[in-house]
Chain A
Amino acid sequence: MSPLAIVRVAGRALVRNKMRSALTSLGIVIGVGAVIAMVAIGEGARRRVEQTFEAMGTNLLVVLPGSATSGGMMGGTGTQATLTWADLAAIRKECKAVAAAAPLLRAGKVVQSEDRNWTTSIVGTSPDYQTIRNWRIARGHAFDDGDVEASAKVVVLGETVVDRLWGPGYDPIGQSVRIQAIPFQVIGVLERKGQSPVGQDYDDTILMPYTTFQTKITAGLGGYVNGAIFVSAVAPDQTERAQDEITNLLRDRHHLLPGADDDFSVRNLSEIAAAQQQGTAILTALLAAIAAVSLLVGGIGIMNIMLVSVTERTREIGVRMAVGARSWDVLAQFLAEALALSLAGGMIGIILGFAAAYEIAAHFHWPFVIHGSVLLISVGFSALVGIVFGFFPARKAARLDPIEALRFE
């Protein structure tokens, strides 16, 4: 029997029992659909986490000053100024794994346009900050080293601040805003960055040169960085090395004896990102495993129905053998039927699975990610299910004795 004839015969047999075929396939539809949806959802969640951490900055490390202790009370990280501008310069110069370092001075202040005002976070920093945070300018331009040197009264605004002071879509370049009654010229607007992993609005901020910040906003202690130092490592796999280098350098510079506590802390945000990503990866694997179980159940459903079908069609098998079907022809027919059921179910399952994944991704504002490999694996897997679970019933059919089969009531 030619392959085409086998497919036709199998197809006819399935069409003869439409309802049963549909219900049998349903198990595979659900199984494959669940696997596709779970893998796509997991992949989307992973991408979402990745994007979130990309928004935070690339290869980011944060150096925070130590805690002040007064009367036995530990004041908490950052309550004591221990980082000096010389420390910052040394980190830039001596740590090989550090690509860039920038100060981060922060204060909450009211900022005014001509007719509105808004309280936001004012950040004093250096031009490197935007590189470290992976944060580009949408309109206008950033301040440069010359502005830092001159303590220029220039600011770069986040989109939220633009929205609040003028309204969405307004182009504020060249306008001036007042902070503590001092006018600043708006030279740029930052690209929209969205929310941080903990829901903080990145775009609700104003950047200015740190020198300007020190002279016009808050002075702080002379010689000390009154805030944090943001550092980016040269590569994602260099963050730990950068962390070690900074720690050793600062301990040395602060003359800490071996055994003494650090009077600063270095936070490695890449580690947090990696941990989160591993978490989603485990979750994805778990979901996919559960979905795979339903695919297995679907496969057993096919085997079950095929066994019933072989018993029910014993006479048909007998007739086919009597008119010249070889064992192999019968085996091929029943295998083809099981394969057709599982492949048809697999196709529908892929469509439904993607539809479900798309809906969920849209609902949670995740990126919708399809890997071609998932498609291939699903098709391959449903075919495998058909062959594995179809083989036993098909062999049973092929081994029937035609005389017995014809006599079967």
Chain B
Amino acid sequence: MSALIELEHVSKVYVSGETEVRALDDVSLAVPAGQFVAVMGASGSGKSTLMNVIGCLDRPTRGIYRLAGRAVGDLPPNELARIRNRLLGFVFQSFNLLPRTSARENVELPLLYSGVSARQRAARALAALDRVGLADRASHTPGQLSGGQQQRVAIARALVNDPKLILADEPTGQLDSHASMDLMRLMQELVRGGITIVLVTHEPDIGHCAERVIAMRDGKVISDAPQVPVKAAA
């Protein structure tokens, strides 16, 4: 079976005036399904660009990107939107929940764009909230939830459409260490349940929770090694 994520000599070049910025420079890597990968690096190392390419938000300038065996580099925008909707889930540093909107409705958001009926949406959103341990907070708005809880709602939103891959961009960036570890434990649980997670972070503690760490600098992969994940403490 082929890997879930396959990048072959992928480059992303931004041209601004005379200068050329190589955000990704000939990156090749493969992530099998069910793996928990941490991408680490300083800001400007290209890890965010890597996330955007893997997340089908951005297209590589050169090289081939295959997601679940399908080359997605040249697909039209609407098809990319469909892939994001069905195969991917996103978790952001700043949660990005809709304000003044209940947790349940926030979690329903991806289902709105996949033609699921209102009743089904509600049921699946509640199930997803249950998976992250927030079933009893379904009617709370983001303002009524702690940072850790908000990020759990965001994870429920990423989970609700049964994606193959969750992309988490500095998910613990705005959380205290306790809430961060809580979140990592949840992610480890999800991986045990069969989901693939690619996590971008610059915090070594967080990186240690993954099974594999890819380090980047100047758009290149400088190290890529498996590790024994640290079990996130309670």
Contact = CB atoms under 8 A, between A and B. Distances in A.
Nearest to B90: A322
- List 5 A-B pairs, minimum CB-CB distance, nearest first: A324-B85, A323-B110, A324-B113, A326-B81, A319-B96
Contact of B81 (A5, A16, A315, A324): A324
Interface residues of B, number: 30
B114 interface: yes
A323 B85 contact: yes
Given A2-B115, A9-B112, A402-B57, A323 B105 contact: no
B17 interface: no
B101 A321 contact: no
A93 interface: no
B55 interface: yes
A334 B213 CA distance: 42
A316 interface: yes
Interface of A: 1-2, 5, 8-9, 12, 16, 315-316, 318-329, 402-403, 406
Nearest to B109: A323
Interface string B87-127: 00110101010111100010001101111001000000000
Given A319-B96, A403-B58, A327 B77 contact: yes
Nearest to A18: B100
Contact of B52 (A8, A16, A324, A403): A403
A324 B80 CA distance: 8
A326 B77 CA distance: 8
Given A318-B96, A321-B81, A322-B55, 4 more contacts: A1-B115, A316-B98, A321-B84, A326-B77
Interface of B: 52, 55, 57-58, 77-78, 81-82, 84-86, 89-90, 92, 94, 96, 98-101, 105, 109-110, 112-115, 118, 157, 161
Nearest to A319: B96
A313 to B, nearest CB: 9
Contacts of B78: 326-328
A12 B58 contact: no
Contacts of B114: 324
26 contacts: A9-B112, A12-B101, A16-B98, A16-B100, A315-B96, A316-B98, A318-B96, A320-B109, A321-B84, A322-B90, A323-B84, A323-B89, A323-B109, A323-B110, A323-B157, A324-B84, A324-B85, A324-B86, A324-B113, A324-B114, A325-B81, A325-B112, A325-B113, A326-B77, A328-B78, A406-B92
Given A12-B101, A16-B99, A403-B52, A323 B115 contact: no
Contacts of B86: 324
Contact of A319 (B82, B105, B109, B115): B109
A12 B105 contact: yes
Contacts of B57: 321-322, 402-403
Contacts of A16: 98-101
Contacts of B105: 12
Contacts of A327: 77-78
